[in-house]
Every structure is written in structure tokens, then in C-alpha cells.
Amino acid sequence: MPTDKSDPIPNYFLSVIKHKCSRCRTGDMFKTKKLYNLKEFMKMNTRCPVCGQILEIEPGFYFGTSYVSYMLTVALSATTFVAWWVIIGLSLNDNRLFWWIGVNTVILLLSQPYLMRLSRSMWLSFFVKYNPNWRTERAEEPERL
């Protein structure tokens, strides 16, 4: 009878939406959990506090997250548009369309800190894969010139 119990692999989507390191899916990428502390919310750990993965793999690594953030913003706006259309309805004869624009703007502004973090954790997960042996294997050191 096998006696060794290996840890279950943490869920990919849960680790991304909770902004976890994509190598161990356990350590936090960001220093604070407070989303609306606007001075601190984007400050990241240099290394994953759990497995030691470097979180900024190369200089300017997170520039590409603007595309991810844009995609998330468009997807969220499309979702609120369809929800508004189904629940409240849209017409060119009244100002319900302008109400949607206003409400959508508020939703986008309030969700922006979360979406900015989410785009970074998605971006990291595109480049750093889960390593089931993260407890015993050392994190790869990036080349720095």
C-alpha cells in the first residue's frame, strides 16, 4: 500500500485570481492584501516568500500586462453591457444607454486595482509553470547581465 501522500496541486484559476506565485501556487505575489491602499497595492515581493521564485523575471517584465489588463477591461465591459441589456434594457429613445456608461465607468474604476493585480498574476502564470517539486527543487535564477 502506498504510504507517501503528495500534496494536492493547488487549482490554477484559484491561484491566479488570488494573485499567488505560479511556481508553487502558494506564496503571495504582492506585499499587501489591501487593494485600495493606492500607494502600496502594486508593491510586489522580489521573490516568492514560499518557494523563492523571482517574480520580476527580467527588467520590464510586466510591461506586457497592459494588453492583459485591456482584455480584462473589455471583457468586463461587455459583460456589464449584456447584463444591463438583459436586466434593464437598452433604447435609443431614453438615456438608459448613458446610465450604463456611467455605471460601467464606476465599476471599472472600482475594479481597477484588482484587475491590475490580476493581469500581473495571469502574466506570470504564462511564463512560470507550476513545479510539483517546488519544495525540493530550487527556483531557477534568471540571467542578469
Residues engaged in binding Zn ion (CB under 5 A): 21, 23-24, 27, 48, 50-51, 53
Distances (CA, A) of 71 to 21, 29, 66: 21, 21, 9
Q: How far is the CB of 34 from Zn ion (least distance, A)?
A: 21
Query: In this complex, which beta carbon is closest to Zn ion, that of residue 18 or of residue 96?
Result: 18
Q: How far is the CB of 53 from Zn ion (least distance, A)?
A: 5
Query: In this complex, which beta carbon is closest to Zn ion, that of residue 6 or of residue 91?
Result: 6
Cell matching residue 14: 484559484
Q: How far is the CB of 130 from Zn ion (least distance, A)?
A: 10
DSSP letter for 50, please.
Answer: T
Q: Are 68 and 123 in contact (CB under 8 A)?
A: yes
End-to-end alpha carbon distance in the chain: 50
Query: In this complex, which beta carbon is closest to Zn ion, that of residue 2 or of residue 141?
Result: 141
